[in-house]
Chain A
Amino acid sequence: MDGNFVISQSDKRPMYLQIMEQIKRRISVGDWTEGQTIPSIRQLAVDLQVSVITVKRAYLELEREGVIVTQQGKGSHVASTPGLGAWLQEQEFEQHLEQAIRLATLLGIRPRELQGRLREAGDRVSEKEQTEKEKV
């Protein structure tokens, strides 16, 4: 059970969010599987050299989202929900979408335009991938 997480000082987001994200990532790539025991709050705090209260908050939020389960006196483990990893990946994608929409609203891009912009972006990405393949 390692704690090879990295908390970035330059990342402007709160530390607890960074921790949550990295835990979710571990689960979504399959490093941590459903039902697997994860480090206790205190242990992770020591490993990451962050305050206990920050890890506690991260764990609380993750529990609220159904990602992990903490039992009094027994420690914490990944939720035993089947397909959790895939579900988290989906969730991340949804979050990116919501962020893009929020930004679009701020910039004044209307929902109708959004579909067209999405298609254009898709085309650009395919083009880039094609160019990369040709280079190799």
Chain B
Amino acid sequence: MSDLAIELHGVGKKYRYFTLDNIHLELAPGQIMGLIGPNGAGKSTTIRILLGLVHQDHGEVRVLGHRMPSEQVAAKWDIGFASDDMRLYEAMTLEWHMNFIRSMYPGWDPAYAQLLLKRFGLREEQKIKGLSHGQRVKATLLLVLARRPKLLVLDEPTTGLDPVARHEVLRELTDVMADEGRSILFSSHNTQDVEQISDQITFIDRGRIIDSMDKEAYLDRWRRLRLEVPLGVTLSALPGIIGIRQAGRLAVATANDFVPDLASAYVNAGARLQCIENMTLEEIFVANVEHSREEVEA
């Protein structure tokens, strides 16, 4: 039996207006995977299939060695799940929720829970309905973090949080990494967070996985080449170049599979190389999505 934290093989799910197709995903223990993609790409559906809350039409799902959704109860003992559309009971206090979770899970760490209350600036005697949005998100995360689960699955954990709160949450997530037996999978619109703390990045668009790999290797494949193109020279799209934008004599070539030869090739073709820039994950995200949209329209 493999000891991957998460395995999805050939997973598919068909809805009326949306299809999740041929999803392959693997997460080794002790790693963090960031799931990014536009709205409606299928991140939340993939996460729900992971947790056994949605039954896939075909394909195999294994989480912490358990088959999903049939063994979801066993798996959920060791999984901490929080999503941005999850709500706690408005009429009850945070303390009530903490006691509720505490009575259910043997792994609850009361000292850590108290520390989190302090770090997140929450008061347990407050009712949920009296909390702001950011405080609710942190309260939900507290309930999941204090259990110290083996696997954390988080759907948009920092969405809607102010910069301080985001920093507080990221700190706790990276603290989890001190234990190499624990893993995290999180989806986020905040590409900066994903870029910073993920070991693996998975990119989903329109129900398909576009890329899933080691973050450093992934960032290394993308470059922006700024070129000066003299009159009479045309730049062709070489393999490894995903797109070229030209305005007058200045051109920008975006490479998604960069090798230094690409730059030399353009220089040999007559262009002058101004610089080769690394790209942030956000820039990669936009380039990727725009490119796949263009491909569909073509």
- A-B contacts counted at CB < 8 A amount to 52
Contact residue among A16, A43, A50, A57 (Cβ-Cβ distance under 8 Å from B197): A50
Q: Check A49–B178 contact: CB distance below 8 A.
A: no
CA distance A52 to B198 in the complex (A): 8
B277 within 8 A of A: yes
Q: Check B278–A12 contact: CB distance below 8 A.
A: yes
Q: Check A9–B192 contact: CB distance below 8 A.
A: yes
Q: Is the interface of B mostly helix, strand, loop or mixed?
A: mixed
Task: Report B-chain residues with C-beta under 8 Å of the C-beta of A81.
Answer: none
**Contact residues, B154-199 vs A (CB, 8 A):** 170-171, 174-175, 177-178, 180, 192, 196-199
Number of B residues, CB within 8 Å of A:
26
Q: Is the interface of A mostly helix, strand, loop or mixed?
A: helix
Expressed in whole angstroms, the minimum distance between the Cβ of B118 and any Cβ of chain A is: 19
Task: Report B-chain residues with C-beta under 8 Å of the C-beta of A99.
Answer: none
Expressed in whole angstroms, the minimum distance between the Cβ of A63 and any Cβ of chain B is: 15
A51 within 8 A of B: yes
Name the CB-closest residue of B to A43. B178
* Besides the known contacts A50-B197, A53-B216, A54-B216, 17 further A-B residue pairs in the complex with CB atoms under 8 A apart: A7-B196, A14-B219, A15-B196, A45-B174, A45-B177, A46-B177, A49-B171, A49-B197, A51-B196, A51-B199, A53-B31, A53-B199, A53-B200, A53-B214, A53-B215, A54-B215, A106-B273
The interface of chain A, by Cβ under 8 A from chain B, is 7, 9, 12-16, 42-43, 45-46, 49-54, 57, 106
